[in-house]
Amino acid sequence: MTQLQREAIDGALRASPLDLGGDPLEQRPLFEQMVTAVPIPDDVITTPGHLGGVPVISLEMARLPTEGIILYFHGGAFAIGSASASVGLAADLARKAHMRVITVEYRLAPEDPYPAASLDAMSAYRALLDGGQNVARVAVAGESAGANLAIATLLGASRAGLPQPASAVLMSPWVDLAVTGQSATTRAALDPALTVRALRLRAEDYLRGTDATSGSVSPIYADLTGLPPLLIQVGSHEILLDDATRLATKAAADDVEVTLEVVPGVPHVFQAFAAHLDEGEAALQRAGTFIRRHATD
């Protein structure tokens, strides 16, 4: 059954009009339409607001007790995507983790290049702690570029002398904006969603002259010492496979507790297809368990 599911999703992604390397103003509505195609369950309660001056959406499940907060960063190569578009995936993770999720509406490139998104992410995290939230019951999470921002927030917290959250979940992380991983070539024919050309265009828009191999924008080049336990999930059919495996290796070398899951035959951010893909549902279940296991009183 899962082979048929994987083939159906692969075909749908290849047929999609979305072009990550296209004009962001044209691609943003296409992306929103694609990721919101599955209706949000009726028990998901969303509340817009601000955190540290940054727009956010808070979400929780009706009648499901919450035991902490996940600060969530959406994907979209720093140029597309939104907090509202991430609600479906973030809500699935919230349900599995038994936590409330706050998904962050950080600024996008090319209108607002680096460091705008990182500053927004850090402002939201700082405000969450300033609001009295027990950091031992906080996790950060993100997908793709959002996973990059999640790690950037952890590194920013270290530099600022702020406490680390209990854990971090990183789905298909894009953490080498220089796009030097071998999988960029070896997995190109298998990846139905991403291309090297598109990633390099989006990285150029985001960086605007910042060195792509700087640890401030590409966490695989940073010192990860002191980060909380990481769960990294990636599909074997994505050109960012090496980003995930290299990040796990770097984290381990820096004495960070890290769990790497490479799921065979699935594409970039396969968890977003959990409603139609058994591997996606199972991965979210493992992510929720991971977050709960590391949360303490």
For 201-238, the pLDDT digits (tens) are 999 999 999 999 999 999 999 999 999 999 999 999 99
Query: Average pLDDT in the 231-246 region?
Result: 98
Residue 297: the pLDDT is 64
Mean pLDDT over the full length of the chain: 96
Of 143, 268, 279, 294, the catalytic one is 268
Backbone phi, psi, residue 44, to 5°: -85, 120
For 188, the token pair is: 């190109």
Establish whether 144 is a catalytic residue: yes
For 177, the token pair is: 């904006």
Given pLDDT bands bounded at 50, 70 and 90, which one contains residue 2? confident
Of 143, 238, 279, 294, the catalytic one is 238
Domain 2-294 is found in CATH 3.10.110.10: no
Q: How far apart are CA 105 and CA 113, in angstroms?
A: 14
Query: Percent of the chain scored above 70 by pLDDT?
Result: 99
Q: How far apart are CA 178 and CA 184, in angstroms?
A: 11
Question: pTM of this prediction?
Answer: 0.97
Q: Which of 151, 172, 121, 177 lies closest to 229, judged by CA?
A: 151
Q: How far apart are CA 84 and CA 105, in angstroms?
A: 8
Residue 67: the pLDDT is 84
Of 144, 167, 172, 218, the catalytic one is 144
Q: Can you tell me which residue has the tokens 């992410």?
A: 121
Establish whether 84 is a catalytic residue: no
For 152, the token pair is: 């950037």
Establish whether 281 is a catalytic residue: no
- The residue extents of the domains of the chain are 2-294
Q: How far apart are CA 24 and CA 207, in angstroms?
A: 15
Q: Identity (one letter) of the amino acid at 236?
A: S
Query: Average pLDDT in the 133-140 region?
Result: 95
Contact 184, 239 (CB under 8 A): yes
Contact 48, 57 (CB under 8 A): yes
Evaluate the omega torsion of the peptide bond into residue 115 and state whether it is cis, within 30 degrees of 0: yes
